[in-house]
Amino acid sequence: MTTVETATGTAKTMVLNMGPQHPSTHGVLRVLLELDGENVVTAIPDLGYLHTGIEKSCEDKTYSQAITLTDRIDYLNPLGNNLVYCLAVEKLLGLELPKRAQYIRVMMVELQRISSHLVWLGTHALDMGAMSVMLYCFREREEILKIFERFAGQRMMTSYIRIGGVALQPPAGWREMVKKFLDMMPARIDEYEGLLTTNRIWQGRLKGVGYLSAEDLIALSTTGPGLRAAGVNYDNRKMFPYSSYEEFDFDVPTRTESDCYARYLVRVAEMRESLKIVRQAMDRITDEGPIKAEAPGIIPPEREKMKTEMEALIYHFKIFTEGFSPPPGEAFVAVESPRGELGCFVASDGSPKPLRVHFRGPSFVNLQALPFMVQGQLIADVVASIGTIDIVLGEVDR
């Protein structure tokens, strides 16, 4: 899509087109590499191959309808996208949620974080030439997707988190299912670490690769594991708690080396922390209780009420035909997605459809750092750097 202007323009360099159909670009990223032998002189990312105009489409939907679109932004973190959008709309509406709904959200989002990190670990190991890790990671991810399927009826695009709560009561037997996963997972993470952490090839491919200082990363607006691997303890769950995260006891893993290896260690440690949060959330979720806020006209009424109360029937009809109208104003909410700060900006003009919905995708912003990470490094290190930024092209291009 882009015509490249070479930086030096000497006869020594050549331009190599990497992607958009390259397996290690994790989707349809295209990078134009100007090479001097095997060394990268400049790297220019070229995006947009997966642009679907989700933000524009949201403007033509009611607030509730837009939830299904949010799933598809970052397809490894659909519940996190649901969450940030719902939190933003709830902020606009001034809704208070029952604690039980918040805990269910936290549990689901943390399971999602583990599943996203598993996909990252598997695909990154695959990029680095270790195929078996991917098979192990996807095996465990399958268990998480089964939990999602029981909760929401869907494995991936769940739309489980809704405005004002969650879609359904937890299914029968959910506790055993989650507990079984929690008991199994620590040993499995040990297994991955046993395969990789002290592996000489793995260390050789990642250590010292893709370094950027903490100051540069902040200047480039990088967030997430990439920033924490540079020693900056910036995690929205701790800094600006949402959805009752302040009640949970967990650590934010950081490293100081700021190379690909440190990013790997941070993500593995994060999986262990997420397991801790899931366990705490599971204990806090009571067997009975509300999963939705009390807000007639915004939250669809229960089926039983609709059969006996006229108001409930009217509200149901109005919500699903016209929608609801938050007061005019704007809200910005940021949550910690597996990739960094996931923000959602919603502006209302008092009509049932949003005036503007904007997603601050962490993959999109973090990818800015790529040219700086790979400058002067070998061409094989570009693959490692793209991998540890952990991009999801659905989110980059939206």
Partner 1 sequence: MTQLANANAKVVGERLRTWNAQAVAEIIEYRGEITIVVPKELLRAAAKYCKETADLNFNLLSDVTCVDRFPIEPRFELNYQLVSIPRRERIRLRTAVTAETPIVDSLMPVWPGANWLEREVFDLFGIKFTGHTDLRRILLPDGFVGSPLRRDFPTEGQR
Composition of the chain by helix, strand, coil, percent to 5: 50, 10, 40
Would you give the DSSP letter of residue 213? -
Closest to partner 1 by CB, 185 or 266: 266
Q: Using CB under 8 A, which residues numbered 318 to 347 contact partner 1?
A: 329-332, 334, 341, 343, 345, 347
| Contact with partner 1 (CB under 8 A) among 167, 195, 218, 306 | 218
391 touches partner 1 by CB under 8 A:
no
32 touches partner 1 by CB under 8 A:
no
CB of 60 to partner 1, least distance (A): 4
At position 89, the amino acid (one-letter code) is: V
CA dist., res. 265 & res. 120, Å (int): 12
CA dist., res. 83 & res. 333, Å (int): 10
Burial of 55 from C-beta contacts in 10 A (0-12 / 13-18 / 19+): middle
List the x/- string, 82-101, binding to partner 1 by CB under 8 A: ---------xx-x-------
Closest to partner 1 by CB, 190 or 330: 330
CB of 53 to partner 1, least distance (A): 6
CB of 156 to partner 1, least distance (A): 24
248 contacts: CB under 8 Å, gap ≥ 6? 106, 277, 280, 281
How many residues bind partner 1 (CB under 8 A)? The answer is: 48
| Contact with partner 1 (CB under 8 A) among 16, 59, 99, 169 | 59
Closest to partner 1 by CB, 178 or 346: 346
CA dist., res. 384 & res. 393, Å (int): 17
| Contact with partner 1 (CB under 8 A) among 232, 277, 295, 335 | 232
**Is 32 in contact with 44 (CB distance < 8 Å)?**
yes
CB of 387 to partner 1, least distance (A): 20
Q: How many CB atoms lie within 10 A of CB 376?
A: 9
| φ/ψ (deg, to 5) at 358 | -130, 135
398 touches partner 1 by CB under 8 A:
yes
CA dist., res. 250 & res. 121, Å (int): 22
Q: How many CB atoms lie within 10 A of CB 380?
A: 13
Closest to partner 1 by CB, 82 or 243: 243
CA dist., res. 398 & res. 383, Å (int): 23
231 touches partner 1 by CB under 8 A:
no
CB of 347 to partner 1, least distance (A): 5
Q: How many CA atoms lie within 13 A of 9 on its CB side?
A: 3
Q: Using CB under 8 A, which residues numbered 36 to 55 contact partner 1?
A: 47-48, 51, 53, 55
List the x/- string, 347-376, binding to partner 1 by CB under 8 A: x-x-----xx-x-x---xx-xx--------
Distances 37 to 16, 34, 148, 167, 310 between C-alpha atoms, Å: 11, 9, 48, 55, 76
Instruction: Provide the binding-site residues for partner 1, judged by CB under 8 A.
Output: 1-3, 47-48, 51, 53, 55-57, 59-60, 91-92, 94, 218-223, 232, 234, 238-241, 246, 329-332, 334, 341, 343, 345, 347, 349, 355-356, 358, 360, 364-365, 367-368, 397-398
